[in-house]
A and B are shown apart, each in its own frame.
Chain A
Amino acid sequence: MTTLEITGTGWLTTFTDLGRRDAERLGVPTGGAADQHSAMVANLLVGNPRGATLIESLGSGLAFVPDRDVLLAVTGAPCRVTIGNAVVDTWSPVVAPAGQVVRVTDVRLGTRTYLAVHGDLRAPTFLGSAAPDARMGFGQVITRGTQVRLDTGFVGFPRRFPVFRLPVPALRFGDGPWVIDVVESPHSIPGIRELIEESSYVVTDRSNHVGLRLTGPVRHPDNETEIVSHGVPIGALEIPHADELIVLGRYRSLTAGYPIVGVASRPSLPLLGQAGPGQELRFRWIDREESIRRFARREDELRALERAAADALDLPCRRTQ
């Protein structure tokens, strides 16, 4: 067994994964990594299955020391990763030698980073997932001093650490407004499509894993909607009674009485999961077919990485099971 001794954390550092499957029918949100794309890529880069348990950190500050050599990857928002005194690549497999401190600092543009380590992180699970559900008392919080246990088959590379040429589909973080693709919904509000398209919205500090609250121009429905609780997809754009726009996140619950004017396209959800207070967002309407085409391309990229990483990492990583 390998141990990562946590010597520093972000504002919030937790175990997570891609979330609970088939749990929403039980009233438990799927939850999991806010930026699922970065989480999947981090795992693939170290030869793990996409849905393996990993560590999500909000902001800078994560630091840890492994007691054996480990193969790791850090993805998500642009940041500076050091091992000992050396700066290493993000969005790439790297080896952290035993006893060297690994630090994630200078997180910028986005809010979250993902640390995957080859092997199985030992973390508690609830309904089959290590994703936190703070509301249900399942916090999964990692603090300074936590000893994170890991079962890994990584035995090191034969000679030096090889240079990988992996086809890595890194998420692009612009330093201007981020463009989010949205698919229109039935029963929208007349004129809202044009208004949202030509306006700019800013993420407020009242945003969290349940949803982003945005300031910007909105329009309310003329007639009052009947209040009947119903489910809403992740990425739904809602207009509450106040003059703001809400984009629902992976920990959303039922909603009632708020019109849904659109739903963010799947390939745009990772960026939404990275948006922090002050981030400017613009919305672009696309049709469902275009949304699926983009999603299919994203999936193809992930599969290409999956194959390439499996080839590159097969030798030095014995299967643990």
Chain B
Amino acid sequence: MTAASSTITVESYGDSAVMVAFVHADAAVRRAGIIRFRDRFLARRPHGVLDVVSGLESLLIEFDPLVTGPEHIEYAARLLAESLPPALSRAVRRFTIPAVFDGPDLASVADEVGLAPAEVVEAITGSVLTISLLGAAMAPMMDGLLVPRPVRRLAEPRTDVAPGAIMIAGTNAIIQPFPGPTGWRVVGRTPHTIVDISRPAPVSFGPGDVVRFVPVTRDEATALTGSFLVPS
């Protein structure tokens, strides 16, 4: 990353949080930058920082306001952003996730972006996705979907989408870990268990890891049903 791209904004939200974001014209640079910043910030966690919430292009830093303040967090954040190493402090894990593309929104997504459904599947399986963050219920939110234009969310969210559903919106993909509502477009499903709260580490992935989807047959998927997702 160039020196100019290490420019960040730090804004105060409420009495005990600040939001950090990168300033750059290219969203891909902002998104890659925040993953590395997060990694470094957590490794060097300044005194009084309680937790962080990752956004696609931002990091909300929550702190104890009786121990520290936004000016101290901002100072630390700017120092850490100045000299970001080019790679994460840990090895990047790679996932090959088997998928059946029979989702109810595949046809409407194809319509919207001007492709045939099979071409949408090719676009998804041809994308090398990076996990930006763990969203609600530890869902892996991925960036880097190669679609002709950003995919819209549903105007009326679906109320009950099954675990394993592969969903897209914007240039992002996400996997539904538990049954529940979503406004994302459901294009497929994976037979793997993505999140298992009975495990000491309920997920095997983290921000910065790389994902590819590979199409499998229904029978192949059935054989894998319920097995815990691990790096390939």
Contacts and interface: CB of A to CB of B under 8 A. Distances in A.
B50 interface: yes
Contact of B14 (A27, A28, A236): A236
Given A26-B134, A185-B13, A288-B12, A227 B170 contact: yes
B166 interface: no
Nearest to B60: A231
A211 to B, nearest CB: 13
Interface in A252-298: 253-254, 260, 262-266, 288, 291-292, 295-296
Interface of B: 11-17, 19, 38, 42, 50-60, 62, 65-66, 70, 133-139, 141, 153, 170, 177-178, 180, 195, 197, 202-203
Interface in A20-58: 21-30
Contacts of B50: 21-22
A136 B15 contact: no
Contact of B15 (A23, A25, A29, A292): A292
B41 to A, nearest CB: 10
A90 to B, nearest CB: 28
Interface string A153-197: 000000000000000000000000000000101100000000000
Interface of A: 21-30, 126-127, 133, 135-138, 183, 185-186, 227-233, 235-236, 253-254, 260, 262-266, 288, 291-292, 295-296, 299
Contact of B57 (A28, A186, A230, A292): A230
A253 B14 contact: no
A25 B51 contact: yes
29 contacts: A21-B50, A21-B51, A23-B51, A24-B52, A24-B53, A25-B42, A25-B51, A25-B54, A27-B135, A27-B136, A27-B137, A135-B180, A136-B137, A136-B138, A136-B178, A137-B178, A183-B14, A185-B14, A227-B170, A228-B55, A230-B56, A231-B19, A231-B54, A253-B136, A263-B15, A264-B14, A266-B16, A292-B66, A296-B66
